[in-house]
Structure 1
Amino acid sequence: MLIGEVARRSGVSARMLRHYDALGLVRPTGRTVGGYREYSAADIRRIFHVESLRSLGLSLKQIGRALKDPDFTPTALVGDLIEWAEDRLARERELLARLRAIDASAPAGWQDVLRVVELMRELDSGGAARRQQAVLAQPADVPVPAEVLAGAVLAEADPYVAGALRWALARAGDDGVAALAAGAHDPDVDVRRRAMLALAGMPGAPGATAVLAAALGDADTTVRRQAALALGRHGTAATAPAAVPVLVDMVVEGANDVDAAEVLGALSGDPECAHRITTALAEELAAPAADSATRIRLTQALVEIGGAAARETLRGLTGDPDPAVALVATALLGVLPDDTPPQGPRG
């Protein structure tokens, strides 16, 4: 079969077939009287073998070695090809994310596109000060793609740069919630923690409350606590009470207990929630494993709650067997406003 017909049937150009011949990959076994290349059935099968290996990403040099050496084993080479393909896909995904971010910013002209690209390049910089400056230097009247900022927030380990990014993200609008929601389910616990901190700065963003509520069941204690504080401060009347058990645990453990008590106090504006909080605090006070320091923190939290139930619990603690708890309860009872309604004149 002559080269033109082989090219038509195989889909490999005549120019490429000549290149294969020059490299020794596929050399036609015959020549016509006029000196034209003539391919046998075995030659054509070899052409298809070469094309199959090319489709896997092998170079022509690697293909030549594979076809020439009968002892050549593909295991290591296939492993390398997998690694190269994964790297290439990662780069392609990064490029796609950048293009989508630029598209989401609705650029009015190439100047806007270049500005976004420059920001992305600066955020990839190895210097923390340079990354922070890139965020803070953005003009207030120039929109920054929220997806770009959200992605940078999830990846940023430097606390100062992360703070600047969260500030910029909160200012950019609600579009970054989707990226943060994905970060809230990331296998990397540090990414989930960064997502919680960023969502806490976006209290009114649609969808943020649902992400925070779901994070209350996270396996990481820090993530749960961050979510509980944010949800307690900014959640709706229907979702915020779900944070109560985690907030009470924070008081028990002494982890941001002052902040947790303040949030519990804010939630106690709802009578039903106040009853639930007071009951939970009272149960922890009565727990056999509670030491003196824990019971003092719980006693102090009751002041934030207020109300008749909290006052009654404090009154009972004034006679507590632990002198420190009794002293704290007595002192706090004196500063707690009296919510008892005035009695009318008797008989």
Structure 2
Amino acid sequence: MNNAIRDDRQARLIEALSAPQSSTRLQAALAAGTYPDDALVEVLVGRCGVEPDFFVRDMLTWALTRCAAGVTIARLLGELTSATPQARSQALHTLSKIGDHTVWEKIPHGLLHDPDDDVARSAWRAAVVLAPHDQSAVLARELATELGRGDWEMQRSLSRALLTLGDPVLPLLAVARTGRNRAVREHAVATEHLIEDPDSDFSAAVDQARRVLSLTDAPSPGTEC
């Protein structure tokens, strides 16, 4: 392919990536992955930070995994300090899909506690994929501080991440379940149930945790005024 044809193709693809119709953007992202071109990494990463459609974002991630890892990873790491939450979140997601464990130490670990829920959730998922095995205990301690955070979906994501880390999580949950914060205790007990039965539904685990804590917190006979 001569340079003129390549430049024309790139220009048309870049224009299509920001088209009003999500179907057009999806097709453009598919084309970018089908015919990977490292020269498009900058555009693809930039689009990840602003793309409103989930399916298009997922296709953009796939397209980036098809480009040269060295080029793509360097650009994604730069996004981790972006002021735009979606840019941080998508960069973490894409790094987890590339799966290069050498990037772990280059990821700001403060993202595990990012004030934006989507970013924090992406950081948790990326961490359990990318962190070396010998960092499991350290990572478990970091993640355990997030117990009780957010809504049902947020807590389920954290529980699944903790479950992946295995044995280092168990003593941390035992401590968390005896604390003063009810939400933290409930989440810790629900996570213990998931570890015991990884195929169980998180909603059922939460219901079971509430029953356990209700019994635990109930006053003993003869102690009522």
TM-score, normalising length: structure 1: 0.49
Q: Return closer, same or farther for 1:258/1:220 CA change in 2, 3 Å cut-off.
A: closer
Q: Find 1:265's aligned residue among 160, 163, 166.
A: 163
Q: Which moved more, 1:217-226 or 1:184-193?
A: 217-226
User: Which among 177, 181, 190 is matched to residue 289 of structure 1?
Assistant: 181
Query: Across the two proteins, how many residue pairs are aligned to each other?
Result: 200
Local SS of the residue matching 1:288: coil
What amino acid does structure 1 have at the position aligned with 2:81?
Answer: H
The 2-side partners of 1:323 and 1:143 are apart by 60
Inter-partner Cα distance in structure 1 for 2:52 and 2:187: 33
Task: Report whether the alignment pairs 1:160 with 2:92.
Answer: no
Deviations 1:103-127 (A, max 9, x none): xxxx863222222222112113232
Residue 34 of structure 2 corresponds to residue 137 of structure 1: no
Kindly provide the CA deviation profile for residues 208-267 of structure 1, in whole angstroms up to 9, marking residues without a partner as x. 652263522534343223212211122213445443245335553444444433432332
- For 2:10, give the aligned amino acid: V
Does the C-alpha gap of structure 1 residues 190 and 121 become closer, same or farther in structure 2, counting only changes over 3 Å? same
Q: Give the secondary structure class of the aligned counterpart of 2:34.
A: coil
Q: Which residue is 2:192 aligned to?
A: 299
Corresponding residue SS for 1:252:
coil
Residue 37 of structure 2 is aligned to residue 127 of structure 1:
no
Q: What does 1:37-186 correspond to in 2, within 5 Å? A: 109-138=3-32, 140-143=34-37, 145-174=40-69, 175-186=71-82
**Percent identical across equivalent pairs?**
19
Q: Decide whether aligned partners of structure 1 residues 238 and 155 sit closer, same or farther in structure 2, where only a CA change above 3 A counts.
A: farther
Per-residue CA deviations over 1:150-202 (Å, capped at 9, x if unaligned) read 12212212222111111111222322222222221112223222322222222
Q: For 1:282 and 1:149, locate their aligned partners in 2 and report how far apart those are by CA, in whole Å.
A: 44
* Cα gap change, 1:260 to 1:130, in 2 (>3 Å): same
Q: Please tell me the root mean square deviation across aligned C-alpha atoms, in Å.
A: 3.3
The answer (yes or no) to whether the contact 2:112–2:142 under 8 Å persists in 1 is: yes
Give the residue type in structure 1 aligned to 2:13: L
User: Does the CA contact (< 8 Å) of 1:296 and 1:324 recur in 2?
Assistant: no
8 Å CA contact 2:112–2:143 kept in 1: the answer is no
Map 1:8-47; keep pairs closer than 5 Å.
none
Gaps of 5+ in 2: 199-208, 218-225
- TM-score, normalised with respect to structure 2: 0.71
Q: Give yes or no for contact 1:166–1:198 (8 Å, CA) kept in 2.
A: yes
Q: What code does the residue aligned with 1:201 have?
A: K
> Greater RCO between the two (CA within 8 Å, min separation 6)?
2
SS across alignment from 1:178: helix
Aligned amino acid, residue 294 of structure 1: H
Q: Which runs of 5+ in 1 are unaligned?
A: 1-106, 269-273, 306-316, 326-347
Distance 1:169 1:242, change over 3 A: farther
Q: 2:170 aligns with which of 247, 254, 278?
A: 278
Equivalent-residue separation in structure 2 for 1:138 and 1:128 (angstroms): 15
Inter-partner Cα distance in structure 1 for 2:99 and 2:161? 14
Larger Rg: 1
**In structure 2, C-alpha distance between the alignment counterparts of 1:129 and 1:285, rounded to whole Å:** 47
Cα deviations by residue, 1:74-125 (Å, 9 ceiling, x for unpaired): xxxxxxxxxxxxxxxxxxxxxxxxxxxxxxxxx8632222222221121132
Secondary structure of 1:156's aligned partner: coil
